[in-house]
Chains A and B, each alone.
Chain A
Amino acid sequence: MNQHALSVQDLVKTFDLGFLGAVPFLGPGITRRFQLKGIAQRVEAVRGITFSVEPGEVFGFLGPNGAGKTTTIKVLMGLIHPTSGQGTLLGAPLGDAQARARLGFLPEHPYFYEYLKPLEFLDFYARLFNLTHRERKRRAEALLDRLGLTYAKDRPLRKFSKGMIQRIGVAQALINDPALVVLDEPMSGLDPMGRKDVRDLIFELKEQGKTVFFSSHILADVEALCDRVAIMARGRIRSIGGLHELLTDAQSPVEIVTRGVEGAPREALAALAAQAREASGQQTFILESDAILESFLDQLRAVEGARLISVIPRRRSLEDLFVEEAAKADAADIQAHEGAPA
């Protein structure tokens, strides 16, 4: 059986917030039973998502703010309990200690124990993995060296810059030489050099055969790094797949350039296309999707004297897809609200 590096199935997370909601055991029950508004409120952060990440993949997890990305990651990391649904990490159910021993995680905007020096800091995390003293020291020194922090090893973390904090954060995520690395917005708040460092590091991890799962807003980085991506909006997965298939799927527009198509046949073909224009004796037709490409080409072949110059699938950018999916999710949500009985 193929073992996923990470997977979730029908994952739902609803938060019970407010004064009562936060009380363990009693709060959520009281909220549900008496539907107390104001004192306690419910927020559906993740609304039934299913996806998996395969071993050795670099997987990008995208979505606008408030899409539910961080909540999903927190469920996977055992920081919050799912309302329903399941998940696996390295083939084991969520929460399995052996699987977590092979996991590395860097949260969004990390903050660390500022009174510790880098070697003490890494030693602390290494102890959580039961490593021997010698091994802890060796790994901590190697990671400081690899992330270019050796020069700052005698400084407490409170004197670290934001970029240095991010790098020491990456170091703690790699202290156990993990098989799966989960990074929540690893590039956020970094300058271009810092972003390049993180990008290089992800490439390096991929070369070592590790699985990398990361969420990001910076689409250029995602396009450069990922084998597959998932786009999440309003608590649901809107698109998932290889970057190539997502960006040139059946809905992608196609641009057709011809010569010698004039008069009535040109009008007939223009009626099929979303846009048509003519310049320098060439006709350009843009079809909304490649679904009607065959019938368009059949009609074109029937036109006497017509020459086909080119057929170019117009590749959408990841940004187009991202914006499109976010807008669709918003529209669906508004419709659901309007359709719901008052």
Chain B
Amino acid sequence: MSQIFAIALNTFREATRNRVFASLILFAVAMLLLTLAVSSASLHEEVRLMKDIGLFLISTFSVLISIFIGVNLVYKEIERKTIFTIIPKPIFRFQFLLGKYFGLASTMLIQLIFMSTVLALIFWGLDANFGEEMVQALLLIYIEVLIVIAIALFFSSFSTPFLSGLLTIGAFIIGRFVDRILVIRLASKDEMTPALENVKTFVKTIAHIVPDLSIFNTTPYVVYEDPIDWSYVLNGVGYGVTYVIILLFLASLMFTRRDFI
């Protein structure tokens, strides 16, 4: 445990001392404040608009930062050869990988809490109720972020940051639209050719493998103050954690076999 904690702490320090990270967060906060100006122009819909745009901004920035740092997590250690001094220490490779994961996961938690606090302060300023549904939505955004980090770490355990970045963004976009892809219609029954049938099977197989991230987006319920059941949130947490465990297991398997040339 001490080893995983050491790697996690170092990853956390690296991310929080990174100027790009700090400027991204400042930019996100600036965007939130800008939203305040825009929403005040809407007629009596300030709070709804603030909820909608606020959650969208927090979710998008969190996912982008996770991908940006996530695909570089392992690659940087190999590229800069810092990993050469870590692997010979009494640490298993999977512990190193878990340390990197938890390091970024805790960085993102702090980031999410910070941005949520800014949003809550804006709500307080508007004299609006932040509400239980906002907490639920933010919790689900964090679970989505945890999955995205695991996907980024999985791809980067065997490929370059650029390729890992593309693959992670691809998986994220497919994941967000899984529900729609599964009911997609390529052509009417009469026009269906074997080739189209194959495409359909391929797309559906991918959609089945990729985690369904649409379940973590509860913004429509929040905006219309339609409370979500906590059992739904807990199901989402269980679903997310299962995906994270599988992805980290596969990433460890790849990483253990790797040569650090």
Contact = CB atoms under 8 A, between A and B. Distances in A.
Interface of A: 15, 22-25, 74, 77-81, 97-98, 100-101, 103, 105-107, 109-113, 115-116, 120, 124-125, 127-130, 169, 172-173, 176, 182
A23 B90 contact: no
B81 A107 contact: yes
Interface in B1-35: 2-3, 5-6, 9-10, 13-14, 17-18
A111 to B, nearest CB: 5
Contacts of B14: 113, 115
A113 B5 contact: no
Given A74-B260, A115-B13, A124-B9, A100 B158 contact: no
B254 A77 contact: no
Nearest to B260: A79
B88 interface: yes
B86 interface: yes
Contacts of A23: 158
A22 B157 CA distance: 11
B232 to A, nearest CB: 38
Given A97-B92, A116-B13, A80 B261 contact: yes
A299 B45 CA distance: 116
Chain A binding surface SS class: loop
Nearest to B16: A115
B231 interface: no
A128 B80 contact: no
Interface of B: 2-3, 5-6, 9-10, 13-14, 17-18, 80-92, 158, 254, 257-261
A103 B92 contact: no
A226 B93 CA distance: 34
B88 A100 contact: yes
Given A23-B158, A124-B9, A128-B6, A78 B82 contact: no
A116 B81 CA distance: 16
Contact of A115 (B2, B17, B88, B91): B17
B158 A24 contact: yes
Contacts of A124: 6, 9-10
A15 B261 CA distance: 9
A127 B13 CA distance: 15
B90 A97 contact: yes
Contact of B82 (A15, A22, A97, A111): A111
Given A24-B257, A115-B13, A115-B17, A129 B89 contact: yes
A111 B80 contact: yes
Nearest to A116: B13
A25 B257 contact: yes
A103 B254 CA distance: 26
A24 B254 contact: yes
